[in-house]
Amino acid sequence: MSGVSPIVPRVRVPLSDLEIQVGIAKVSRYAERESGDTVELTERPTGGVSVVLADGQGHGRPAKTLANLVARKAVGLIAEGARDGATARAVSDFLLAYRHGQVSTELSIISVDLSSGTLVVSRNSHCPAVIAMGDHVVRWDAPSVPVGLYPDTKPTITEIPLKVGVMVVAMSDGIADAGRRSGQSFDILATVDRLYRVDADAQTVASTLLDEARELDSGRPADDMSVVCVAMRQLQSGNEPRRLTLLWPVP
């Protein structure tokens, strides 16, 4: 799906028709207390939510500090009304000025933008995203570069019409490269396709991908692993409350 042209309908999707599901699963590199991946979630001021996944260069606490810096900067800009593309460019310029091009961070942003009626996927990462809609589950791996290294760094962006059944998965390289040290490869597309066909919810998709990636690394992740899944579902009742659940094992 490299080079996919953005699909940008301008029809607002009624809030009463859709439910946004977000599933997140992550684990640190084997024998590391601190994960160099950070995931942040924020509401968009014009309606909807954005999920930011940042993978800091390196491992352990320095990578975590870097990922936190980038993710929080991105979340702050989005919360102030910046578009995702402008946010990614501004974050890259900020990190370049702050660290003089000596470090980089891979950045993925998935946004449910109710003002445009689209699901926006923005990547500054070598890791693919997986997009599922209708009868199609595709790997989106259009070339992109991490933030913080070069001037005028731009994200690769695609937009998908908001409708029931749309699902997007983003990941860090611990997931994308799982099994590599033992000569195996993770068929992420096949796993997402299998789960999508049985109508698995967003958290099940994220957790299953993480579990299978860890298994390929024999239970000892070679790198920090993070998965984000955003799915659009049919809202069963217009009076449903919003819910957020967090499970956070303390190391």
Residue 224 CA to residue 172 CA, distance in Å, equals 8
Domain boundaries, the chain: 17-234
Residue 107 CA to residue 210 CA, distance in Å, equals 19
pLDDT digits (tens, 9 = 90+) for 188-246: 999 999 999 999 999 999 999 999 999 999 999 999 999 999 999 988 776 778 888 88
Buried b / exposed e across 54-89, counting CB within 10 Å, b at 16+? bbbbbbbeebbebbebbbbbbbebbeeebbbeebbb
Query: 15 pLDDT exceeds 60?
Result: no
Q: Are 69 and 55 in contact (CB under 8 A)?
A: no
Crossing angle for the helix pair 188-197 and 202-216, to the nearest 10 degrees: 150
Query: 10 pLDDT exceeds 60?
Result: no
pLDDT digits (tens, 9 = 90+) for 84-137: 999 999 999 999 999 999 999 999 999 999 999 999 999 999 999 999 999 999
Query: 78 pLDDT exceeds 70?
Result: yes
Confidence band for 16, pLDDT divided at 50, 70 and 90: low
pLDDT at 14: 59
CATH 3.40.190.10 fits 17-234, yes or no: no
Residue 41 CA to residue 71 CA, distance in Å, equals 9
DSSP for 93-121, please give it: HHHHHHHTTS--EEEEEEEEETTTTEEEE
pLDDT at 111: 98
Please state which of the ranges 11-15, 68-72, 169-173 shows the lowest mean pLDDT.
11-15
Q: How far is CA 103 from CA 64, 128, 158, in A?
A: 13, 21, 26
Query: 77 pLDDT exceeds 90?
Result: yes
Crossing angle for the helix pair 60-79 and 84-99, to the nearest 10 degrees: 140
Q: Pick 14 or 211 by higher pLDDT.
A: 211
pLDDT digits (tens, 9 = 90+) for 139-170: 999 999 999 999 999 999 999 999 999 999 99
| pTM assigned to the model | 0.92
pLDDT at 100: 96
Which strand ranges, in their side-by-side order, compose the sheet holding 136-140? 18-27, 225-234, 167-171, 129-133, 136-140
pLDDT at 19: 93
